[in-house]
Structure 1
Amino acid sequence: MLTPRIGQVVLVPANPAVNNGADVAPAIITRVWSAQVINVRVLLDSDAIQWRTSVKYVDGLDGVEHPHAWTWPEQA
């Protein structure tokens, strides 16, 4: 598994109503608490601004209903 660092891009669940219909959004890591827990600034496809604190790593976002989760983007 990768180690999170400030400035890296991760994916978080998003409310489609404020993200132009998409249920996933990119986020920039702003603080690293551990390899599993980080703070992020969410980059929504709208003018809404979101910060999330203490978001926890999950293997994937399929079926994740709570907003405080993150995962790595798929690697090409």
Structure 2
Amino acid sequence: MPKPSLGRVVLVPADPAVNNGADTAPAIITRVWNDDVVNVRVLLDSDAIQWRTSVKYVNDLGGLAHTHAWTWPPRV
């Protein structure tokens, strides 16, 4: 698994009401606390601005709604 670093893109759960119906959004890592915990700037599909602090790594965002969690995007 890659290590988080500044500027990396990760995925976070999002509120579909402020993300044009999508329940996941990309986010940019702005601070790395350790291999599991980071701060991010969420890039919503709207004009809403969100910062999240101390979000914890999870393997899968499935079933998580609006929590402070992040995961790596799938490799394609």
- Fold conserved between structures, TM > 0.5: yes
Q: In structure 2, the residue corresponding to 1:17 is in which secondary structure?
A: helix
Please list every run of 5 or more consecutive structure 2 residues that lacks an aligned counterpart in the other structure. none
For 1:17-36, list aligned pairs within 5 A. 17-36=17-36
Give the AA of the match of 2:6: I
Q: Secondary structure at the match of 2:5?
A: coil
Does structure 1 residue 15 correspond to structure 2 residue 12? no
Q: Distance in 2 between matches of 1:56 and 1:70?
A: 6
Unaligned runs of 5+ in 1: none
Contact 2:15 2:65 in 1 (8 A): no
Which segments of structure 1 move beyond 2 Å, counting only runs of 4 or more? none
TM-score computed with the length of structure 2 as normaliser: 0.97
TM-score (norm 1): 0.97
Equivalenced residues, count: 76
Letter in 1 for 2:50: Q
